[in-house]
Structure 1
Amino acid sequence: MQTYDIATIEGDGIGPEVCRSAVAVLTEACGSRRLRFHPFDGGAAHYARTGEVLPDDTYAACKSMHAILHGAAGLPGVTYADGTEVGNDLHLQLRFRLDLFANVRPIRLYDGVQSPLRDWKPGQIDYVIVRENTEGLYASRGGGVNLRGEVATDTLVMTRKGVERVARFSFDLARRRQGAPRDGQRRVTVCDKANILRTYAFFRAICDEVARDYDDVQIDYAYADAITVHMLKKPDFYDVIVAENMFGDIISDLGAGTVGGLGIAASAELGERHGLFQGAHGSAPDIAGQNAASPIATILSGALMLRWLGEQHQDDALKSDADRIEQAVEAVLAAGETVPRDLGGRATCTDITAAICRQLAG
């Protein structure tokens, strides 16, 4: 039985609370001998104390271990001289230095959660947004120009390699899924602004090239502005959506809003050899230390971690444990007795963690 070493970075705000909850659930699901968690420093508070957001030993551990589980990072007022947030730089550095090119954001309506979209039921919203994670507009991070305080520019960057690999990742993902809820069709929707900008026309053209290798997966197109309407009007049409970095960032938060909010939104940042897993929400320092945060997004991100590790290492037991965690979360939400505050309930972080662990143990 293989053992997996997981680097954990609890971070700031509610990060320590939700990260510890995820560790507890993962340990309950897999057993203490399967996963070994190793805590490391990093984040805005660590930067305020030491001047380092990502210490060398933390990066070395993240590079050498099987996976990375992160709580959250960022604190109000802790910024660099250019005004950008220090906290975000923790996972941005890991993203670029470890080449985590695919940001995977499942958008799924769970039983027990009321969608803000009228009449949509669990099972009708179930798709994945794949965001290209290392190029696009965010490639200008730290490299933009501010000229005399009069002109500021950032450059949108796309490469053939970058687009091709995230497109191929998306089509491969669609092949492993069951298709869109509406019609069962395996489908990749390319989200862009190919009608306006050459970079996005380039993005679409390369996706078209990749699509020729996947006769069993339909290719679809949507402009970034139009898809914000389609995601509200016909969310059951979507299976996998692939987008450039900034567009993917924006529409994935919109998608999360349709299924309960960021408190239930899992996230995986994946490369060829490395994976970083964290909830899509922020550090919420206003409720830190109050046992008020929902750990569900981080717990579901832990399930994504298990599934990815299972695929990387041909470990079916881990994939089964990932399924069990997702089923336990849904069972707790469906019961309606342990509901987090962001979903209209009063359950604490520890209440939710204990309920999911009990469901797994039962």
Structure 2
Amino acid sequence: MARNRYEVALLPGDGIGLEVTDAAVAVLTDAAEQHGVTLSYATYDAGAAYYRVSGEAISAASMSALGEADAVLLGAMGLPDVRYPDGTEIAPQIDVREHYGLFASLRPCRLFPGVPTRVRAEAVDMLIIRELTEGLFAGRHDPAEPSDERASDRLTITRATSEKLFEVAFAQAKRRRRLHGTPGHVTLLDKANVLRSNAFLRKLFDEAAARHPDVATARLYIDAGAMMLVTNPERFDVVVTENIFGDITSEIAAGVVGGLGVAPSGDVSETHGVFQPSHGTAPDIAGRGVANPVAAILSAAMLLDWIAERHGDPRCAGAAASIRTATGAVLARGPRTRDLGGDAGTLEVTRAIRTALAAGAPAA
């Protein structure tokens, strides 16, 4: 049910996360106000910098507060020189996924006009859906066996999570077809010819496909599918896959459409959503004002879509569409940041998007 006010929790994190979160909040606030939506914000500390001073990646109080918000906007977290005793990086975003059962990562990859790509393609518009809580992440907290001779990780696929994942994939295919005119097609990427766990995953996908006969499907082995993401990306609409495969293929897809600077994402369950750019903290450019804010701004649009669907609020859907239209217009004509061949900084691009938003920029 639509409400007068929605609560957004902010986790700016580390590195350029702070800069792109500020940019996204500015655009998000403008779009919400333009469409008669009131948003309130609460900011929480988490990440590598917070770990340095506190000894924890995120506090229990902050973790609990995230669950009370209508949605979470996350910047980026982790620094390569700040690590746990076992050598892994500080990654509270993964802790949040596990705590709230965020089992699906939605990673849209659209090639906007004006954005350079090294791939010969023009009409790329796909959604990579990555499972988040199991696969090769299933054993993340398994007891370690100290050894200088071997190490292993557990890959686990469960029916309960896979069924939820595939329902999201088919629902997204139908939604994209209805709202954006995409084919309404789902491709599974797996390694079912070698891995028993992936053969089971394909079996579960076949069962889900049978429940949705109005959606066309395909099944590809991950190696062939990864190649096709580069050689023929226009063939894909919705792609769904296991955790690690999704981690890798979503970044391949992002590279096809211009890089991580234009790649938003949302980690969701049936009840909670965390939205964030797909890029990392980029400590080499942090604080210099040159980070590309587009991925964070498009993630804010996804956040509004999430609220719109959960609360049946067309105002939020309209605000999300306005953000995408304004962002697309700026990508088409500039200014652009250096990763996209321009020379503009974070603030200049953000101002341009806010100006286009205020002017009601036509779709790119």
Shorter-chain TM-score tier: over 0.9
Compute the displacement of 1:147 (Å): 3.4
Structure-2-length-normalised TM-score: 0.95
1:74 and 2:78 are equivalent in the alignment: yes
TM superposition shift of 1:76: 2.4
Q: Which runs of 4+ in 1 moved over 4 A?
A: none
On the 8 A contact 1:295/1:352 being kept in 2, the answer is yes
Structure 1 residue 33, shift from structure 2 partner: 5.9
**Where do residues 13-24 of structure 1 align in structure 2 (5 Å cutoff)?**
13-24=15-26
Partner Cα distance (1:113, 1:346) in 2: 14
Question: Which residue number corresponds to residue 319 of structure 2?
Answer: 321
Structure 1 residue 352 and structure 2 residue 344: aligned? no
CA contact under 8 A between 1:116 and 1:258: conserved in structure 2? yes
Match of 2:253 among 255, 259, 278: 255
Of 299, 304, 307, 2:305 maps to 307
Give the conservation status (yes or no) of the 8 Å contact 2:108–2:126.
yes
Following the alignment from structure 1 to structure 2, what is the Cα–Cα distance between the partners of residues 194 and 9? Answer: 37
What is the 5 A alignment of 1:1-362? 1-31=3-33, 34-86=38-90, 88=91, 90-118=92-120, 120-121=121-122, 124-143=123-142, 145-178=144-177, 185-336=183-334, 338-362=335-359
8 A contact 1:146–1:153 mirrored in 2: no
Query: TM-score, length-normalised on structure 1?
Result: 0.95
Equivalent residues of 1:145, 1:154 under 8 A apart: no
Pairwise CA distance, 1:2: 2.2
Superposition deviation, residue 184 in structure 1: 5.5
Residues 175, 314 of structure 1: alpha-carbon distance in 2 compared, 3 angstrom cutoff:
same
Give 5+ residue unaligned stretches, structure 2.
Answer: 360-364
1:301-331 deviation digits (Å, cap 9, x = unpaired): 0000000110000001101110110010000
Q: Per the alignment, do residues 184 and 341 of structure 1 end up closer, same or farther by CA in structure 2, a change over 3 Å counting?
A: closer
For residues 49-85 of structure 1, give each alpha carbon's deviation from its aligned partner in whole angstroms, at most 9, with x where no partner exists: 0101111221111111111101111112100111100
Distance 1:103 1:333 in 2: 25
- SS of 1:116 mapped into structure 2: coil
Residue 30 of structure 1 contacts residue 321 of structure 1 at CA under 8 Å; is this kept in 2? yes
2:115 counterpart letter in structure 1? V
**Partners of 2:96 and 2:189 in 1: how far apart?**
25
CA distance in 2, matches of 1:250, 1:2: 40
Q: d(CA) in 1 for partners of 2:271 and 2:131? A: 16
Contact 2:8 2:73 in 1 (8 A): yes
Deviation of 1:96 after TM superposition, in Å, equals 0.5
State the secondary structure of the residue aligned to 1:163.
helix
CA distance in 2, matches of 1:184, 1:50: 47
Cα offset for 1:145?
Answer: 3.2
CA deviation after TM superposition for structure 1 residue 144, in Å:
5.7
Contact 2:128–2:250 (CA under 8 A) maintained in structure 1: yes
Q: CA deviation at 1:150?
A: 2.0
Q: How far apart in 2 are the matches of 1:201 and 1:76?
A: 36
